[in-house]
Amino acid sequence: MSKNLSALSGRKGLENNLFERIGKLADTSGTPSQDDMRALSEEFLIGEANIYATVSFYDFLKKENTGIKAYVCNGSACMTAGTQDKVRQHLKEHFLENQIGEMSCLGRCHEGSAFHRDGKNYSGNNAHQQDHYHVENFGTQLLTGTALTIDDCIRQWKECINVSPDILLHEIVSSGLRGRGGAGFPIGIKLESCKNEISESKYIVCNADEGDPGAYSDRYLLEKQPFSVLMGMMIAGYIIGAHDGVLYIRAEYPESIQIIRQLANELMQAIQSEMASHDFSFRFSIIQARGAYICGEETALLNSIEGQRPEVRVRPPYPVQNGLFNKPTVVNNVETLASLPWIIQNTGKSFAAIGISKSSGTKLISLDSHFNKPGIYEVDMGTPLSYVIDVMGAGFKTQIKAMQIGGPLGGIVPIHKVPELNVDFESFASHGFLLGHASIVCIPENFSMIKYLEHLFKFTAHESCGKCFPCRLGSLRGYEMIKRAVDNQKLMDRNLFDDLVETMELGSLCALGGGLPLPVKNILQYFNTELSAHFTQ
């Protein structure tokens, strides 16, 4: 990350955002032209090589994207559902082979057969656009109850603006709310740290690019509970003294982008007079991502907003000290921010009373198409995982041998371990797994675990930012080893493979390369017999 490039991009700020400019130049042809990139370089005083480095990274900006008309979802849930070969054959009836690309993931994990064309997502047996997933609450209704309206936001904003930021911060700290995107870091600590920083500019960033295959709870919140997300950002902004809120939303969620753009504008117009009377302003900027899983990592996301190549930053300094455009910034995921309005309305103590121990509140869970009742469910933290599967999901449609919970970096939970787990951070961690987004991707009995390992390494190799060699090289070499074994070309040396995994775990800069070893080790531990034929004895 270059602080100079951050400062140069910050000269134009969010009003004339470099990354948005690059994206719009690609909307017509699929990638910006050389002349377009040269013109941006001159306008922003940023080298042509830097602009090209950005363009060449993203799936929906790079030259290879030119001429693509339709995209097939290659996410883990669609893969294990076995629906995508049929989808590709269907698209070949309408497009040439070189006009069909891939996306990961479209958030249609509840029904599979997902694909994208003409700016819209489709899924299900009838390839319909408007998917209808089941939403149900099995605990306290924080995020699955009646959606906030714009009038609710106006009323709550009036209440918030008439008390000090310290009072609101106290409620959030006392709630014990931890980040819902994977790491579980308390948001109260982030807000307090950023609030204490002295700067003329600060930012709240909503990370809506956490594209864990199998997870579609963020999409649910953005499309069905949008005012909870927007209000949460305003509350956080008021606490730390930020006047700008940025929503960085996945390109794979076109409906989410459209809804948030419209409602953010409506909300700003509705509370404009109230803000003016209290001498506090807040505005939203909507940034459309362009296809890069690594942007779910908060520092890579900040680089992306600035129009830089989305490489992970070395920390410290942390974003709360030196974030977007080198200014103090709080980055949190969709579900975390959407929880703030309930906490402020009902007190932090009430939120802390839900759940167990250090895992307070509720959690949204995404169930894939292998369940009899797939959909989005909200449960109190501490709910038995067996209850999630047997009662909420009504069991499986087919024989399942394992589940990957928490995205592609989440643990692989064999079915026999389910009775030992509860839906909370501590329970999963103590058993060697990761709660993360709490998305569940089922692995059927007849799905090869060596093929799933190959899928995980291939995904990581494709999505690596390239900043550190353990991830950049390790993921690719791991994929190559597994691919040769799958194709019966060469058995893997177990010691060499273990060394590679350990190098990635200990040496990677962020949780992509450092997190992949968790599911790999789980598979090696619990499915060693199935894998033994692919290793030298």
**Tokens for 311?**
């490489």
Length of the chain: 537
| Predicted pLDDT of residue 285 | 98
Domain that holds residue 430: 354-444
Q: What is the CATH number of the domain that holds 504?
A: 1.20.1440.230
The reply to whether 235 falls in a domain is yes
Residue 20 forms part of a structural domain: no
Q: What gap in Å lies between CA 44 and CA 50, rounded to an integer?
A: 11
What is the distance between the alpha carbons of residues 98 and 76, in angstroms, rounded to a whole number? 23
Arithmetic mean of pLDDT over the chain: 95
Residue 131: predicted pLDDT: 75
- Torsion angles phi and psi, residue 225, rounded to 5: -130, 45
Indicate if 505 and 526 belong to the same structural domain. Answer: yes
- Residue 181 and residue 75 share a domain: no
CA 474 to chain centre: 23
At residue 525's C-alpha, the angle toward residues 522 and 528, to 5°, is: 120
306 CB contacts (<8 Å, ≥6 apart)? 5, 6, 9, 10, 18, 19, 324, 325
Helix, strand, coil: what percent of the chain each, to 5?
50, 15, 35
Q: Measuring CA to CA, which residue among 522, 386, 372 is closest to residue 452?
A: 522
pLDDT above 70 covers a percentage of the chain that reads 99
- Which residues on neighbouring strands pair with residue 134, listed in sequence order? 375
| Residue finishing a domain among 417, 444, 471 | 444
Nearest to 87 by CA among 53, 121, 57: 121
Domain end among 425, 444, 463 = 444
Residues 414, 467 within the same domain: no
Domain presence at residue 227:
yes
Q: Give dist(CA 302, CA 294) in Å, integer.
A: 11
| Boundary-marking domain end, from 132, 165, 186 | 132
Q: For residues 32 and 304, what is the distance between their CA atoms, to the nearest angstrom?
A: 16
CATH number, residue 288: 3.40.50.11540
Residues 299, 433 share a domain: no
| CA separation for the pair 328, 149 (Å, rounded) | 30
pLDDT of 126: 65
Query: Which residues 6+ apart lie within 8 Å of 15 measured at CB?
Result: none
- Do 209 and 253 lie in one domain? The reply is yes
Q: Is residue 401 located within the same domain as residue 388?
A: yes
The number of distinct structural domains making up the chain is 4
Residue 219 lies in a domain: yes
Residue 429 burial (CB count, 10 A):
13
Residues 284 and 256 in one domain: yes
Residues 152 and 197 occupy one common structural domain: yes
pLDDT at 127: 67
Can you list the residues of the chain whose pLDDT is less than 50?
none
What pLDDT does residue 355 have? 95
Instruction: Provide the angle, in degrees to the nearest 10, between the axes of the packed helices 48-55 and 18-26.
Output: 60
Residues 6+ apart with CB under 8 A from 130: none
Nearest residue to 436 via CA among 340, 519, 324: 519
Residue 1 lies in a domain: no
**One domain, residues 189 and 170:** yes
Digit-coded pLDDT (tens) for 387-419: 999 999 999 999 999 999 999 999 999 999 999
- Residue 19 resides in a domain: no
Cα distance between residue 371 and residue 369, in whole Å: 5
* Residue 40 in domain: no
DSSP calls for 48-112: HHHHHHHHTTSTTTSGGGTT--EEEE--HHHHHHT-HHHHHHHHHTTS-GGGEEEES--S-TTT-
Q: In this structure, what DSSP letter does residue 32 have? A: -
Q: Are residues 151 and 183 in the same domain?
A: yes
Spatial CB neighbours of 341, under 8 Å, sequence gap ≥ 6: 148, 156, 228, 231, 232, 235
Q: What angle do CA 203, 232, 428 make, to 5 degrees?
A: 100
Same domain, 337 and 386: no
* C-alpha span between 407 and 110 (Å, rounded): 15
CATH number of the domain residue 416 falls in: 3.10.20.600
Report pLDDT for 275.
79
Together in a domain, 209 and 328: yes
Residue 425 contacts residue 496 (beta carbons within 8 Å): no
Domain assignment of residue 182, yes or no: yes
